[in-house]
Amino acid sequence: MFSVNSVFAHTAKELPLPEHANLSPEANELNKKYLSEHTFKTVVELAWPPFYFKNSTNGFHGIGIDYKNLIEKKMGIQTEVTGNMLFSDILDAIKNQSIDLFYTTARTADREEYALFSKPFETFPSAIATHR
């Protein structure tokens, strides 16, 4: 099993506090203002079915795209998809902050050193299949 989170490549002082935090109405309004005034750079993973895959017209589809669209709508944020990458390159882009967020990755101790994570929003089984 692995849990899927959104990951933010911002430093803690730059990232607005979550809406559900115990904040004053003024602080929540500042969060909404920050989110509405910024365009966040993100990427799509090259191929990780069923999370990300290209259809016959080279458009990206999958669970990750569905989560991306839902999160953007619920949070009221604007994003710019700056390309597609292999997952290892996405982790590097998060580390060097050339992207602002990525929608489907698991929290690990080493990733917590350079990124902020949402609460898990989905858990999926994981398995390895081999030939006899």
Q: Note the pLDDT of residue 3.
A: 56
pLDDT over 60 (residue 110): yes
- Cα separation, 111 vs 13, in Å, equals 18
| Least confident window among 27-36, 52-61, 77-86, 102-111 | 27-36
Other Cβ atoms closer than 10 A to 36 = 11
In percent, the amount of the chain with pLDDT more than 90 equals 8
**Mean per-residue pLDDT, 81-108:** 88
**Res. 86 pLDDT band, cuts 50 70 90:** very high
Amino acid at site 122: E
